[in-house]
Chain A
Amino acid sequence: MLPRRSRLSVLIFLLPPVALYCIAVLFPILQSLFLSFFSWDGISDLQFIGLDNYVHMFTGDVVFWRSFANAIGYLVICLVLQLGGGLIVASLLTTLRRGREVVKTLYLLPAVISTVAIAFLFQRIYSVDPVGLLNQVLQWVGLGGLARPWLSDVNTVLAAVSVPEGWRFTGLYVLIIYAALIAVPAELEEAARLDGANAWTVFTKIRFPYIRPVWITTVIMATTYALRGFDIPYLLTNGGPGQSSELLTTYMYKTAFTSTNYGYASTISVFIVVECLVAVGLIVVLLRRKADA
């Protein structure tokens, strides 16, 4: 603490940022909570309906549950691609002698590109006519039978909208995990190898435990990012066909701005906030406990 500070100076420095933060982030959360108890179309008067929105959401809304299940699927695909992929590439990268910087830079490129551009790109990758990159590759390797319009097939559309999101941020996790991996002391690994440990044992017994704190952070990051996934599904399929790629976020958006049902949209928002807090809490509790065991 500075010796010559006054309460006033603290307030002067603290108030402007806190004001912006409250206007943009905290008040909207509270406002959503408030609106979730009302029925409102934005024009007529607010109508207090108590917990009706919540009751409807949990017991009567098939689309809500469908979106929730899709959001979980989306989350799983993103986690596998970003964290699984990130860990594999980062580990491979540590064995590379030259060109590590180039690989990291190239890998991060997609993260710099806007979601709209990515949506355009993947629309062409998945396309059938003219034949897109994916279907072309399938034909080359003799799996032409699998070629399909990936975005209009109800069985593949969820995976098809999740993959671009996973792809785009993998480089970020490669970067973070790699930085953690090269900080593992070489003596530890060397000693284990001398004792006859193979690469897999070195990884599971030394490397991974060592990077666990960073791993927890990346799991939290990837999870919260995946739960806010919106742009790519919205732009590629707008939740369709039917509800087969609807996420909670796109469902909330449509409820608010297409059906102008602000009350119910806020109820879904509240659910999303709770879902994120619970997810982060679970990750911290589960991964910490394993670390202690």
Chain B
Amino acid sequence: MIETPIGPASWRDWLLAEAPQSRIQARLSRWYANWLALRRNPLAVSGLIIVLILVLMAVLAPWLTDRSPYDQALSARLQPPSSEHWFGTDELGRDILTRIVYGSQITLLIVFLVSAIVLPVGLIVGTMAGYFGGLLDTILMRITDIFLAFPRLVMALAFAAALGPGIENAVVAISITAWPPYARLARAETMTLRGRDFILAARMQGASALRILWSHIMPLCLPSVIVRLTLDMAGIILIAAGLGFLGLGAQPPSPEWGLMVSSGRSYLLDQWWVATMPGLAIFIVSFGFNLLGDGFRDVFDPRSQ
């Protein structure tokens, strides 16, 4: 990547200044240093590129292709990849590339919703258990242990089956299985923070337990929980695809990738592209999230430096 110098002294010099002139400059410098650290890791950069492409694909889907992911053309079913249909067509004559492009929206939506549920639940359970300790800690942590005792996909399957198929229920099912590690992490962080002097100082000023948890402990637990979440995203995508594949996630005619693999399964021997293309998409995207998560961890975790 080439820096495009803007302004006379170039942004780069300004950002790398030994003695920042202002608070904003110092903060931007820090970010820039993080970015440089991330950029030095080629795997992390490729992960970032894959994730960026996924996001762009989801946002720009209607402009990337003029076909609809639902339009059937039975006269053109199961056509091999060609200049007209780059990834071929499926058993109902739908363009697979178009469906993969639209499917990225569903994948991102699931990842976003699961994160939005798991992060607060894990933080609240973990910080409460860690801060109050005693009986509450025991109860909350034993519940967490129960959830951790089951393999994630199996438990997600059970919940999805109980709640009924559909993307919303898949999100709920995945969230139920995904929060326990975050609670564990937040609890461990909280327990190291609990005895610190600044928490005692806050209590000396008459701060309530709720205020201490919200404004003193949670902000300090957040970074490690977020890094853990980026590492976990690949897992979330795989479980969502797995549920779709087993018929408990997204339902036809939704262009969800796992569902597409599932419907292409019956044609695997003669029309390999129907199942392979969405499968490749799942593979590349979860690979990308993993690489990016590893990169983030190396950059943001001061202990690894």
Task: Tell me whether A and B are bound partners.
Answer: no
